[in-house]
Structure 1
Amino acid sequence: MLKRFWLWLGRLVGRLLLILVVVGALGWGLGEAYYAWKFSGPVSTEEEIPKDEAAMTQGIIEDAIRIVEQHRDNTRVLRDAHAKAHGCVKAEMTVLQNLVPELRHGVLVEPGKTWQAWMRLSNGNAYPQFDSARDARGMAIKLLDVPGEKLLSSKATAGDQDFVMFNNSLFFVRDVAEYKQNFAAQASGQKIRAFFPSLDPRTWEVRHLFIALKTLAPAPDSPVDATYSSIAPFKLGPNNIKYRVVPDPQSCPRYELPEQNTALPNFLRNALYQQLSLDRVPACFALQVQRQNPNYYMPIEDTSVEWSEDISPFETVATIRVAAQDFDTREQNLFCDNLSFNPWHALPEHRPIGGINRLRKAVYEAVSVYRHQRNAAPQSR
């Protein structure tokens, strides 16, 4: 009798598992069909600005300042995101000699031109946690002594052209309205409500939750081993583009990083120091752009949608070289902390577009000013 019971139970469990597999496959198929229908072109090549975006932006600024106060490091006010730097290093960006004429705009107008730059590599969290924690990773590049009027600048940043990126090609919110709801929930410590704001399933953002979980990835072996993307779109002259920075090891001497102790809280800084300062081996990257094809679903106002590389492949426009150097000093780390990066520190030919970039303009500037004032520190650039 006991044997019959176990056989019956085994068959029942097997049928239930089969049903779950079939239902899961059906749900997956329906989801794929739905998004294939929803994410179909054509799309606009122009920005579409909601009427209440300015009011929502002000609310986000207030939440961002609340977060930087929550995560104060003793007496210093940190960034509201990417608070922990692995280092700021000197770099050079060189425009390709054979760059196609359609992409020669802004800082890319002169083939072969080399720009001096600062590069900041960081973790994404607003609190400086161990590098072994799952997190986003960021890269910000500041080209120096770039002539021309900028979209946003101070006396200290008048010559800057900034590029701000992190290590995913998608963002986990689509627009300013969703960002406000998500950010407010996280600022209040209600992380579940960030993606499930109510009991109504129509308000759930399951796809965006998976994007967020993918963004919170294990650490790379080194900060120079990752690919960093702009997420949001930009102008490049008349083109609408997204950009990214990818490792380009074949343009540098061959290098194999010694195994790092990943139990150390700052092993990514150690890896960077090992390569650049101890082993004296440079790191190389390529700056690439992807042009919008508006006949397909490559939206400007939704940063949770990836632009298809099959339709519009990335094109290399410049190379970036980080020479061997000594960067981990008290003076340079303080200088790094006072650096201010904003994608609106830009020539008009590189104007940020889309809701998330419009939000960045206001939030980055407000938090930067607040942080420097509270720290009684000069905004070095």
Structure 2
Amino acid sequence: MPTLLPPVRYTPDLEDVQPGEGETVQGLNETFDTIIETTAEDYGHAVRGVHAKSHGILRGVLRIRPDLPEELAQGMFARGGDHPVYLRLSTNAGDILPDAVSLPRGLALKVLQVDGERLPGADGATQDFVMVNGTVFQAKTASEFHSSLKLLAGTTDRLEGTKKAMSSVLRGVNSALQTVGIQSPTVNALGGAPQVDPLGETYYSVTPFRYGDYVAKFSLAPVSADLKALCGETIAVDGREDAIREIVREEMRKVTATWELRVQLLRDRAAQPVEDPTVEWSEDVSPFETVATVEVRPQDSWDEELVQEVNEGMRFSVWTGLAAHRPLGNINRARRDTYRHSAAFRQVFNKCPIHEPGAR
């Protein structure tokens, strides 16, 4: 294995803030309003603007390794110890679609009892990680993402039959692309993602974050035998609208689930751009390194009380956490206000306060 470059130290000039980002965020909020207002009117209940459909809510524990080297012992990982966590499994659409429409999987992780200087507006003592089962984002900038989102907003909660048919076709396209080594985030996002079991997937932050004195991306990878056996396994939907939720619930009643939380440090500014999340950071340049494990014991992944507490009463945001893990890059900067905007609408419409655990 070649000798790795030392990690790049964090400095504010790693980011390149462009003129017009404020206008883009305003446009994103307006487009998200189209999505969340449409779904709220149809459902009589407000849901998230993205990752609206949840497939499972879990409780577990995160164990930070006590013997990390200096470059990994940063921020909340500076000291070993155990932290309670919540996990939310989802797919990425802003409307609640039948599972026959196959979309990328998402996993949001909320770590509790995290002490330290907070990001502006981040209440409580928590640290959120928001990840998907892909290594890159579908758009280079928030402006490009907004252009795609406007097209999707026009189909929100409409054309369900067309979406099912298109999803079937796109899965075939995706399979053909994969046989020649091509991965397409765009095809996945439009409904061509493989119908994989979310418990067997590896998840990625896709965008970079400050990592104490350094900069990193995050990943959550399954390592227990029960989860590794599900890697790549597909789910037969069989006409069931909530097949994924049903399968996850059945599996979590009997499996012990363990993931490794891994960190990929920024070591080469040219090969690992901060401002372009469409570029995958090569593991040849900087491999993922384990800093903690997440363990979830067998449980009911659709417990009514827990679903109400987490799915309805909490939000997951990359801007909820420590200043030592500040989100970086154009996409992350745009997420700050749009996440809050969506959560504020849900809170008002549903008359259900959204809060961080321990910050009621």
Question: Does 2:338 align with 1:372?
Answer: no
How far did 1:287 drift? 0.7
* Whole-Å separation in 2 of the counterparts to 1:259 and 1:51: 44
Question: Does 2:283 align with 1:309?
Answer: yes
The answer as to whether partners of 1:170 and 1:303 remain within 8 angstroms in 2 is: yes
Which among 194, 216, 229 is matched to residue 241 of structure 1? 216
- Following superposition of structure 1 onto structure 2, how do residues 179-190 of structure 1 map, counting pairs within 5 Å? 179-189=145-155
Which among 12, 27, 33 is matched to residue 65 of structure 1? 33
Q: Per-residue CA shift, 1:220-240, capped at 9, x if unaligned?
A: 1x3210111101100111211
Which among 44, 60, 81 is matched to residue 75 of structure 1? 44
* Whole-Å separation in 2 of the counterparts to 1:147 and 1:343: 17
Which among 129, 133, 138 is matched to residue 172 of structure 1? 138
Which among 268, 272, 278 is matched to residue 294 of structure 1? 268
The match for 1:227 is 202
* Whole-Å separation in 1 of the counterparts to 2:53 and 2:213: 36
The match for 2:127 is 161
* % identical aligned pairs: 30
How far did 1:330 drift? 2.4
Per the normalisation by structure 1, the TM-score is 0.77
* Whole-Å separation in 2 of the counterparts to 1:171 and 1:116: 29
Question: 1:138 corresponds to which letter in structure 2?
Answer: G
Q: Which stretch has the larger CA shift, 356-365 or 122-131? A: 122-131
Which structure has more helix as a fraction of its residues?
1
Question: 2:263 corresponds to which letter in structure 1?
Answer: V
* Whole-Å separation in 2 of the counterparts to 1:245 and 1:268: 20
Question: Does 2:62 align with 1:93?
Answer: yes
The match for 1:338 is 313
The match for 2:115 is 147
The answer as to whether partners of 1:93 and 1:318 remain within 8 angstroms in 2 is: yes
* Whole-Å separation in 2 of the counterparts to 1:189 and 1:93: 39
The structure whose Rg is larger is 1
The answer as to whether partners of 2:200 and 2:230 remain within 8 angstroms in 1 is: no
Which among 275, 297, 317 is matched to residue 323 of structure 1? 297
- Following superposition of structure 1 onto structure 2, how do residues 189-268 of structure 1 map, counting pairs within 5 Å? 189=155, 210-215=184-189, 216-220=192-196, 222-250=197-225, 261-263=236-238, 264-268=240-244
Question: Does 2:245 align with 1:269?
Answer: yes
Q: Compared with structure 1, are the counterparts of its residues 256 and 376 closer, same or farther at alpha carbon in structure 2 (3 Å cutoff)?
A: closer
* Whole-Å separation in 2 of the counterparts to 1:69 and 1:275: 34
* Whole-Å separation in 1 of the counterparts to 2:90 and 2:221: 16
In the alignment of these two chains, the number of paired residues is 314
* Whole-Å separation in 1 of the counterparts to 2:120 and 2:186: 30
Give the SS at the match of 1:71: helix
Question: 2:237 corresponds to which letter in structure 1?
Answer: T
How far did 1:219 drift? 2.0
How far did 1:56 drift? 1.2
* Whole-Å separation in 2 of the counterparts to 1:219 and 1:259: 5
* Whole-Å separation in 2 of the counterparts to 1:172 and 1:253: 27
Q: Per-residue CA shift, 1:280-331, capped at 9, x if unaligned?
A: x211101111111235321111111111111111111111111112242322
4+ aligned runs moved over 4 Å, structure 1: 252-261
The match for 2:335 is 360
* Whole-Å separation in 2 of the counterparts to 1:231 and 1:108: 20
Q: Per-residue CA shift, 1:320-349, capped at 9, x if unaligned?
A: 111112242322222222320111111111
Q: Per-residue CA shift, 1:193-234, capped at 9, x if unaligned?
A: xxxxxxxxxxxxxxx9932114541221x3210111101100
Q: Compared with structure 1, are the counterparts of its residues 256 and 51 closer, same or farther at alpha carbon in structure 2 (3 Å cutoff)?
A: closer
* Whole-Å separation in 2 of the counterparts to 1:344 and 1:211: 24
Unaligned runs of 5+ in 1: 1-43, 191-207
The answer as to whether partners of 1:244 and 1:287 remain within 8 angstroms in 2 is: yes
* Whole-Å separation in 1 of the counterparts to 2:227 and 2:107: 22
Q: Per-residue CA shift, 1:82-130, capped at 9, x if unaligned?
A: 001012110111112332221111221113x111011000011111112
Give the SS at the match of 1:101: coil
Q: Compared with structure 1, are the counterparts of its residues 176 and 295 closer, same or farther at alpha carbon in structure 2 (3 Å cutoff)?
A: closer
The answer as to whether partners of 1:171 and 1:212 remain within 8 angstroms in 2 is: no
* Whole-Å separation in 2 of the counterparts to 1:48 and 1:261: 45
* Whole-Å separation in 2 of the counterparts to 1:241 and 1:344: 15
Give the SS at the match of 1:309: coil
Q: Compared with structure 1, are the counterparts of its residues 311 and 253 closer, same or farther at alpha carbon in structure 2 (3 Å cutoff)?
A: closer
